[in-house]
Amino acid sequence: MVENRPLTNFCSHAVLIFAIAIIAFPIWITFVAASHDAVRMTQTPLPLLPGDQFFINLKDTFTQGVGNAREQSVGLMLMNSLIMAMMIAVGKIIISLLSAFAIVYFRFPFRMGFFWMIFVTLMLPVEVRILPTFEVVANLGMLNNYWGLSIPLIASATATFMFRQVFLTVPDELLEAARIDGAGPMRFFKDILIPVSRTNIAALFVILFIYGWNQYLWPLLITTDKNMYTIVMGIKQMLEAAEESPEWHLIMMTTLLAMLPPIVVVVGMQKLFIKGLTETEK
């Protein structure tokens, strides 16, 4: 910045540190709660500093389960979340790449019609068409399985738009050169287009993985079989149980586990994440 005023600089840092402290406070409390035993977690005031039960709680969470979600293991729920998130992310990327390729590189009847049809999906989040979509999935026999969890969510207008944008910036000369070299459409797609959009694909993957992992309403609707529960749903079940027999130390441990994968992805792939976020949404 232009001015160099030590006091203003100090204040800037103070504001940021204070904000980070406030924002991190819930997480800190969660971590603290996950590191105490059941007895300590029923006495007010609750502790503000971590205890020594963290690894015992971690083990208990995996081996015994929590609350009325006791019958299904936390490990299984994590696995379900991972499978769902991966299927959604990979599925969205594949079908968006294909349709963006068709729309940018071919001239065919109904091209714009298809384009608008894809655009519509942007306007209809799951939340506004819950019941009829549920009926469709039920009629197709896709309740309580991974297909039902992921396929209805993999149509993506944003991803298609982004790839369209990326493809439009690929110089025409590349296609001309490929055609002179004798490459057909799919060869061009595989050998040239996919490699040049590598970073965009990776950036989008980060966003979509988090989107998939954090799905809540949809799994809530279509899974009744406890073996198909995802971790995010599982937390809800535990919270309900907490009203009778609070096992906050285990619930908070599970919450930590549910937050961890997406946070690791976001923080670990920060650059890609920010690129993906600011480029897809604009």
Partner 1 sequence: MAEVILEDVVKAYSKTEVIHGISTTIADGEFIVIVGPSGCGKSTVLRMIAGLEKITGGIIRIDGQVVNKLEPKDRDIAMVFQNYALYPHMTVFNNMAYGLKLRKFGKDEIKQRVDQAAQLLQLEGLLDRKPRQLSGGQRQRVAMGRCIVREPKVFLFDEPLSNLDAKLRVQMRLELRKLHERLKVTSIYVTHDQVEAMTLGDRLIVINEGAAEQIGSPLELYEKPGTKFVAGFIGSPAMNFMDAHISRDGQWALMQGDIRLALANGGVPRFGGQQVIIGIRPEHFKIIVKGPQSMLLTVDHTEILGADTTVYGRFADTPGLITIRLPDIHHFKSETILPLSVAQAKIHIFDRETGARI
Partner 2 sequence: MLKRTHFNPSPLPYLLVTPQILITIIFFIWPASQAIFQSLLVEDAFGLKSEFVWLDNFIELFTDEIYFNSFGRTLLFSSLVAFLSLGTALLLAATADRIVRGATTYRTLLIWPYAVAPVVAGALWMFIFDPTLGIVAYMLEALGYDWNHRLNGNQAMALIIFAASWKQISYNFLFFLAGMQAIPKSLTEAAAIDGAGPAWRFWTIVFPLLSPTTFFLLVMNIVYAFFETFGIVHAVTKGGPAGATEILVYKVYNDGFIGLDLGGSAAQSVVLMAIVITLTVIQFRYIERKVEY
* Region 2-21 residues binding partner 1, contact defined as CB under 8 A: 2-4
Site residues for partner 2, 59-88, by CB under 8 A, read none
- Nearest distance from residue 8's CB to partner 1, in Å? 12
Please tell me whether residue 98 binds partner 2 under the rule CB under 8 A.
yes
Q: Which is nearer to partner 1, 6 or 109 (CB)?
A: 6
Asked if residue 168 binds partner 2 (CB under 8 A), the reply is: yes
By the rule CB under 8 A, 49 interacts with partner 2: no
Which residues 179-198 are close enough to bind partner 1 by CB under 8 A?
Answer: none
**Site membership for partner 2, residue 129 (CB under 8 A):** yes
Residue from 38, 76, 86, 221 touching partner 2 (CB under 8 A): that is 221
Binding site partner of 53, from partner 2, partner 1, none, Cβ cut-off 5-8 A by kind = none
Binding segment for partner 2 (CB under 8 A), chosen from 49-57, 58-66, 68-76, 253-261, is: 253-261
**Sign of the alpha-carbon dihedral angle for 257, 279, 185, 178:** negative
248 binds partner 2 (CB under 8 A): yes
One residue of 58, 151, 192, 241 binding partner 2 per CB under 8 A: 151
One DSSP character per residue, the chain reads: -----HHHHHHHHHHHHHHHHHHHHHHHHHHHHTTS-TTGGGSSSPPSS--S-HHHHHHHHHHH--GGGTTS-HHHHHHHHHHHHHHHHHHHHHHHHHHHHHHHH---TTHHHHHHHHHHHHH--GGGGHHHHHHHHHHTT-TTSHHHHHGGG---HHHHHHHHHHHHHS-HHHHHHHHHTT--HHHHIIIIIHHHTHHHHHHHHHHHHHHHHT--HHHHHH--SGGG--HHHHHHHHHHHHTTS--HHHHHHHHHHHHHHHHHHHHHTHHHHHHHHHHH--
Q: Is 19 in the site for partner 2 (CB under 8 A)?
A: yes
Q: Which is nearer to partner 2, 198 or 282 (CB)?
A: 282
Number of residues located near partner 1, criterion CB under 8 A: 3
CB of 5 to partner 1, least distance (A): 9
Note the residues at the interface with partner 1 (CB under 8 A). 2-4
